[in-house]
Amino acid sequence: MQAATNQLRAFLQYYAVQLIEHPEQAQLRVAEIDPGKLRFRLILNPSDVALLIGKNGFTASAIRSVMKAAAERHNVQFSLQIHSHEEEAQRNSAGEA
């Protein structure tokens, strides 16, 4: 599982940084929510959220598709959430994980 986590993390970090304007503000959080299930949370500058999601969500969808293919090689399921720092602060103040 650790190899899959590291590979997916490296992929997401590399491609996300290429597409956003403020990579120094990006944070990637990874959680194993169940055996064989990973949750990736990418926390970005608000202007970068729109860039990474893309028009009609096409960019985020393409990233998820490639990550899904890589995850399937390791028999792992994953989810990818993209938030701004403000949304993350609201989640944390509301007590959400």
DSSP line for 41-53: EEEE-HHHHHHHH
Domain count across the chain:
1
The model's pLDDT over 39-75, given as tens digits with 9 standing for 90+, comes to: 999 999 999 999 999 999 999 999 999 999 999 999 9
Backbone phi, psi, residue 26, to 5°: -75, 140
Domain of residue 45, residue span: 2-93
Name the pTM for this structure.
Answer: 0.85
- Could you tell me which residues come within 8 angstroms of residue 75 by beta carbon, excluding any fewer than 6 positions away? 36
* pLDDT band at residue 89 under the 50/70/90 scheme: confident
pLDDT score of 23 more than 70? yes
Q: What is the CATH number of the domain that holds 81?
A: 3.30.300.20
pLDDT of residue 93: 85
